[in-house]
Amino acid sequence: MLKYLFNFVIFPGFLFTACFGLMACWIDRKVTSRIQWRVGPPWYQPFMDLVKLSIKEIIVPRTASKELFFLSPMLGLSAATLVSMLVWLVNIDPGSKGFSGDIIVIVYLLTIPAIAVILGASASGNPLASLGASREIKMVMAYELPFIISLIVPIIKSHGLLRLNEIINYQVANGPFITSLSGIIAFIVMIFCIQAKLGLVPFDASEAETEIMGGTFIEYSGMLLAIFKLTKTMLMVVLPLFLITLFWQGFSFLSLWKYVIILVIIILIRNTNPRVRIDQAVRFFWGKMTLLAVLAVLLAVKGL
């Protein structure tokens, strides 16, 4: 029991992933600043920003559903922490075998942070937050379809394996799936889905500060807002790591470059594209991305 509690809270769960994610956030800000011909912040700036936000006052709207308003950030953070523990363990602990169907459980858990954002925005009682929640619902419905279809590709190529550690071992023995045609197509589709799951440009319509002043987070402040931001920071680690596990032979600290490559791709997409409207995002995911995901599945069935 103490071992699982340690794994959840310290390593490789909350504390480790949070620190890793804050460093990834610094890389994001540093690369962005270089693209814009700026110097950028020092490495400790994301940590200072989180501390500063955490000690500020929490303001709760009068019309808010207070219980749900406070519970929603905790719900998203708990899901992100649990996923981080499951994914990290199968990658860095050879003795961890996961459990049958853990890949399906992780997919469900990865939807909870978005649901938490929707619940929190709806509970705030602000019309702009409700508009952001409406956009977030449409976004989740859009990207989850190609995300799940693409997830079928490594399952097919590994002959029906549903444990992450077994998928890693299969790739070690037979080569990473990303080197196949179906694998690279599914990998590209999931990159765009990850961009939307993180709520980054061009898929940040639910926040859209220039349109709806923060949208889903407009009424959040202090520690509660810090928790939401920390959840997104942790997902910036967990989602690429999940992708590496499925398609790229798993992760080790000697292969940190795999994570860096995906992170840089995410940052470049964010800095080279304008925000799309919510209807454009839905058409993009239900159209091009879903068709590509289906193509990847068909190619995987053919052994390509």
pLDDT tens digits along 187-206: 999 999 999 999 999 999 99
List the end-to-end C-alpha distance of the chain, in Å, as a whole number. Answer: 44
Contact 124, 95 (CB under 8 A): no
| Per-residue model confidence as pLDDT tens digits over 222-244 | 999 999 999 999 999 999 999 99
Q: What are phi and psi of 199, to 5 degrees?
A: 65, 35
* DSSP secondary structure code for residue 57 in this structure: P
User: How far is the C-alpha of 210 from the C-alpha of 64, rounded, in Å?
Assistant: 24
Q: pLDDT tier at 33 (50, 70, 90 boundaries)?
A: very high
Contact 245, 164 (CB under 8 A): yes
Q: Which of 293, 243, 291 is closest to 107 using CA atoms?
A: 243
241-291 pLDDT, tens digit per residue, is 999 999 999 998 888 999 999 999 999 999 999 999 999 999 999 999 999
DSSP annotation string for 192-215: HHHHHHTT-TTS-TTT-HHHHTTG
Token pair recorded at residue 19: 């620190």
pLDDT attached to residue 63: 87
Q: Which helix (H) or strand (E) holds 76?
A: helix 66-92
